[in-house]
Amino acid sequence: MKGKGIFALVVLVIFLTSCSKKIIPDKPFLSQTNFHLDTLPESEISIPVQINLKPFYKLAEKNVDTVFTSPNWPAEWVNIDCSNRYKYLFRRGQLSFSANGQSLNMGFTGFYKIIGSTRACIGNAVVSPWTPPCRCGFDEGERRVKVSFTNSVSILPDYKIKINIIRKEPEPIDKCTVCFFGSDITGQVMNGLKKELDISKKEIEDSFGLTDIKNQVQQLWNKLTTSYNILGLGWLQINPQRIKLNNLSARNDSLQIILGLNARPVIRFEKPTDYKTLLPDMDNTAVKPGFNIFLDAVLNYDSLSQVLNAQIKGQQFEFKKGAINKTVIVNDCRIYGSGNERLIIKLSFGGTNAGIAYFTGKPVYNEKEKVLEIKDIDFDVKTKNILLKNADWMFNRRITNEIANRTRFDLSTYIDSAKIIIGTQLNREWVKGIKTTGNMNDLKIVRIYPLAEHLIIRSNASGNLALKVDTIDFNF
């Protein structure tokens, strides 16, 4: 019985000892402060755009008729009055273009031949038959005339390219003489030609005088509202806000435009939900050259905890309590936010005692070393109280110092990778025939936001970007 009593006493002591040394403090409660996430400033991107006008020239060449004739040529006549009639064939040469400022000049050499005849009339009464037809532009070769139009180009807020066409006076190169007018009828031919050119002008305006490119710009806008997986950084959402356009000018075969984009880009570790939005009307306010981008990187606390765990899990600390050796073994370490400026670190441990300890600290970015670190790490007040009562030997700066050393996140690689990856994104073809080129000058961290659900790192990037449009699909 005596042996059994001693055994029971040992078991009881072990049981009571293990129960009394389990460290389970209440979760920290950090008082609310005025801390909040500032609105992400709008990023401004100013892009010089160069549009190749050669596809536009080809479109014009394709859509403007090459042959114009009097009605039902060559069978029927056009009666000028009772005494005169004619019929003609007019063909144009290849279109030529020149651009300067907001004007686009289009011209061509016209070739024509005309047949006419006359008869005697008194009033509207016919007194003689028609004379034999007289011809101009047949035996001596087609007669030539220079024809030109001046077109002013503008882009409307609803993404329509408007061309205002002004017909210039035709300039005859060759004279035209026919028998029924006695001699030179060049002037009369030019007057008739003007009417035909005005009809041709209307056809040009109907064909592409007002070209709607909103569908094409909406496709580009949709690309901007789609999140992109940028390797090593997460998912980028550009979140475009509006498009600006000004300084439109043309020279030779190129149209130059300054295109501005306002956006609020965000990077997340998890793929976000994409929401397509309607393209807003264009803004024509002035834009600054280059780009100045504010970017929020949304970091998940679980991801940060995984990084921290990889460094500290399994670490063992040895302490002395008088002549007794004490041990703390780290089983798990987690970081989470509370909506306060400070983060909470939860440490699960074993060893001499088992349980949980909570610490608090403030995330700070070290610009010089490009390191995100948690400063001023200390035991939470509730953890302090329970340790002082049950395991005061754990109340030791060695643990907080070790956690501080392990909660330094080097962002230099992240920043360097971001420069390279974003630089690659700047230099790409977005849709067929439309590509951008650019470079990033600087990328820096401007603020840290330890929110309850995420740690947000706000950065600022600056650089230059240009867009070149080699081809546009006008088949719409």
Give 256's contacts (C-beta < 8 A, 6+ positions apart). 48, 49, 50, 51, 247, 248, 249, 250
Residues 225/239, Cβ–Cβ less than 8 Å: yes
Average pLDDT for 366-380:
91
Percent of the chain having pLDDT more than 70? 92
Select the more confidently predicted residue: 20 or 137: 137
Average confidence score pLDDT of the chain: 83
CB distance 46 to 290 below 8 Å: yes
What residue spans define the domains of the chain? 24-54+213-476, 64-212
Average pLDDT over residues 443-462: 89
pLDDT > 90 in the chain, percent: 19
Evaluated on CA atoms 463, 469, 473, 474, the torsion sign reads: positive
pLDDT band at 179 (very low <50, low <70, confident <90, very high): low
Using the 8-state DSSP alphabet, how is residue 279 labeled? P
Look up residue 23 and give its two tokens.
């460290």
pLDDT at 197 over 50: yes
- Return the structure tokens found at 378: 């200390």
What single-letter amino acid sits at 43?
Answer: S
With a cut of 90, say whether residue 6 has pLDDT above it.
no
- State the residue for tokens 């949709």: 222
- Asked whether 445 and 411 are in contact (CB, 8 A), the reply is yes
The region of weakest confidence among 177-186, 345-354, 414-423, 454-463 is: 177-186
Dig out the tokens for 20 from the structure.
């009394």
On whether the CB atoms of residues 24 and 358 are closer than 8 A, the answer is no
Whose tokens are 């066409």? That residue is: 165
* pLDDT tens-digit map of 142-163: 999 999 988 887 888 998 888 8
Helix (H, G, I), strand (E, B) or coil at 123: coil
CA atoms of 58 and 56, how far apart (whole Å): 5
Contact 263, 305 (CB under 8 A): no
| Residue range 296-307, pLDDT digits in tens | 888 889 888 998
What is the average per-residue pLDDT within 282-292? 83
* CA dist list (Å): 149 to 60, 104, 192: 12, 8, 17
Query: What does the pLDDT look like over 36-91, one tens digit per residue?
Result: 788 889 998 888 888 888 887 888 788 777 888 888 999 999 888 898 888 889 89
- What is d(CA 116, CA 367) in angstroms, rounded to the nearest whole number? 89
Mean pLDDT of 406-423: 81
Per-residue model confidence (pLDDT) at position 423: 81
Nearest to 233, CA basis, from 463, 464, 462, 457: 457
- 444: tokens are 């820096």
- Characterize 193-229 residue by residue with b for buried, 16 or more Cβ atoms within 10 angstroms of its Cβ, and e for exposed: beebbeebbeebeeeebebebbebeeebbeebbebee
Cα 210–Cα 214–Cα 218 angle in degrees, nearest 5: 170
The sign one gets for the Cα dihedral 371, 376, 381, 387 is positive
Please give the pLDDT value at position 279.
93
The answer to whether the pTM exceeds 0.85 is no
The SS3 of residue 58 is helix
